[in-house]
């Protein structure tokens, strides 16, 4: 396996995932502000954008997972191997970068889950008040 190609592909996939997840956080922040303003029309517009952005972020995550699975298969590591195990097989000079990107993706994904939960609670609270104003 050409390890340079594999780690370049993985870095690109992780960067794309971070970028698209960051875009989703931005939309969720906008939605929070719209909900606090009781702006039902803006919330509806943002809901569509959020759904689209979630789909994009999921595709990015799937792309990263495919690269990791393919790399694990190329290295004969098995199907259920952790990403840490796969990363350990890359050259030492690139491992810190890959580990940092993976950590950032995990942190951002946790933050996304929390923001999605918070926004859902806000919608449940505010939408009953927004409906009569729209």
Structure tokens at 128: 């009953």
What percent of the chain has a predicted confidence (pLDDT) above 90? 79
Copy the structure tokens of residue 117. 């939960």
What pLDDT does 125 receive? Answer: 87
In angstroms, what CA-CA distances link 114 with 26, 37, 110, 121?
14, 21, 6, 11
Name the pLDDT band for 80 (thresholds 50, 70, 90).
Answer: confident
3-state helix, strand, coil in the chain (%, to 5): 85, 0, 15
What ranges do the domains of the chain cover? 3-133
- Tokens 């929390």 found at: 114
Residue 103 above 60 pLDDT?
A: yes
Instruction: Report pLDDT digits (tens) over 13-45.
Output: 999 999 999 999 999 999 999 999 989 899 999
Please report the pLDDT score of residue 5 as a whole number. 64
């Amino acid at each position: 396996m050409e390890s340079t190609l594999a780690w370049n592909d993985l870095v690109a996939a992780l960067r794309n995932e971070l970028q698209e997840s960051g875009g989703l956080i931005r939309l969720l922040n906008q939605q929070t502000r719209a909900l606090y303003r009781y702006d039902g029309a803006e919330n509806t517009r943002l809901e569509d954008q959020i759904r689209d952005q979630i789909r994009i972020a999921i595709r990015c995550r799937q792309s990263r997972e495919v690269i990791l699975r393919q790399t694990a298969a190329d290295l004969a590591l098995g199907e259920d191997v952790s990403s840490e195990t796969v990363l350990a097989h890359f050259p030492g000079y690139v491992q810190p970068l890959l580990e940092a990107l993976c950590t950032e993706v995990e942190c951002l994904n946790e933050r996304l889950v929390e923001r999605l939960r918070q926004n859902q609670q806000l919608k449940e609270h505010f939408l009953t008040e927004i409906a009569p104003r729209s």
